[in-house]
Amino acid sequence: KAGVTQTPRYLIKTRGQQVTLSCSPISGHRSVSWYQQTPGQGLQFLFEYFSETQRNKGNFPGRFSGRQFSNSRSEMNVSTLELGDSALYLCASSSGGQGPIVEQYFGPGTRLTVT
């Protein structure tokens, strides 16, 4: 079974621009979560989607948004980029369902650098 894939792997953007990151979960997984990882803050939860609906949301400004498609693929968008948005953005998939998500499978991440 193929793992979680994320594209692009590396990205350099200028402050003020916007960016869209993509994540394809493991086949059959319906839940996709997004995390921001920085050296100082560790992994910070952005949001989680299940069956095209946002089920959970972290404490990030509205510049961070996401969506999920009917095939469970997900995208996240960051508008009006700031220098502080430079980070590794990780996507994680799980089978989802009604209960809490215990085990998540992470993709390799997208390394975003904002200059």
Partner 1 sequence: GQSLEQPSEVTAVEGAIVQINCTYQTSGFYGLSWYQQHDGGAPTFLSYNALDGLEETGRFSSFLSRSDSYGYLLLQELQMKDSASYFCAVLADRGSTLGRLYFGRGTQLTVWP
Residue numbers at the binding site for partner 1 (CB under 8 A): 4, 33, 35, 41-45, 48, 55-56, 58, 90, 92, 98-109
| Least Å from the CB of residue 43 to partner 1 | 4
- If the CB atoms of residues 18 and 51 are measured against partner 1, the closer one turns out to be 51
Cβ-based neighbours of 86, under 8 Å, separated by 6 or more? 38, 112, 113, 114
| Least Å from the CB of residue 107 to partner 1 | 6
- If the CB atoms of residues 72 and 104 are measured against partner 1, the closer one turns out to be 104
Which is nearest to 85 in space by CA: 12, 2, 24, 3? Answer: 12
**Angle, CA of 105, 51 and 11, to the nearest 5°:** 55
